[in-house]
Amino acid sequence: VWITLAALLYAIGFDWFYAPNLIGFGGVTGVGQVLNALFPILPVGGVALVLNIPLFLLGWRLLGGHLLVSSLFAMTLSSLLVDALNLLITFQPLDQMLAAVCGGALVGLSLGVIFTQGATTGGTDLAARLLKLRLPWLSLGKLLLALDLVVIALAALVFGSVQTALYGVIAQVVSSFVTDTVLYGLDNAKVAYIISDHSEEITQKLLELDRGVTLLDSQGWYTKERSKVVMVVCRKRETATILKFVKTIDPNAFMSVGSVMGVYGKGFQAIGKG
């Protein structure tokens, strides 16, 4: 049911916002858009369906049969709905910026829902999943963005308009953000690693913020001295507070802060929602 609804959103997003406004679309559907512009007799969805076959064979081999079945359903339905909706409804052009933002959001939402169901619509969606096996530290949204930019550039060449590419990039950035939001949530947090001779005092201060703390054993390679690394995951707004009291407790402390996505557990998103 969720895949069916997402496939419908995907088709609406393309037929309503991308196609009539000449906005470059990424992925295999984007290739279909390019070929349709060159040879109008070729339907966008039909081209996407044919081009996805070799990718799905590779996906079946590397990702297993479950992904193949659910993804074949998602890919086939979304491709057919793109062509069916185009035959049934003639959407009028909109302001290109509005179309890029709304279209990107709708397509990103549909892809996020499909991914949460363990499926893909094929094309660069599937290619992104395959790449994620090799590059697990990169989010699906960012992998999709990189792959789709190549197809968008081709669309700009075919339509002879730089605007096609520029608005296509805007749509893809929006789509990437919405996809990641659906998959990982809006709770972008920070993780801080603090190396200090005053680790116990810093830990007590962190506990006052109602944050869990983990102490990691470490050894400096140059000095060979053993110490404790304080690791804490916190909300973005709490980073400045932590930095301030660490500086007060130990001005010589070493602290690094990085961004994390999809934080689940006490004090953040419930793990059952992941």
Residue 33 identity = Q
Of the pLDDT bands very low, low, confident and very high (cuts 50, 70, 90), residue 63 is low
What's the mean pLDDT in 224-253?
86
Which residue do the tokens 């081209």 mark?
A: 47
Distance (Å, rounded) from C-alpha 141 to C-alpha 172?
Answer: 9
Distance (Å, rounded) from C-alpha 118 to C-alpha 120?
Answer: 7
DSSP assigned state of 21: G
Of the pLDDT bands very low, low, confident and very high (cuts 50, 70, 90), residue 183 is confident
Asked if 246 and 194 count as a contact pair (C-beta separation under 8 A), the reply is yes
pTM: 0.71
**85 to each of 63, 88, 173, how far by Cα in Å?**
31, 5, 25
SS3 167: helix
Which residue do the tokens 């001779």 mark?
A: 197
Distance from first CA to last CA of the chain, Å, rounded?
19
pLDDT at 154 over 50: yes
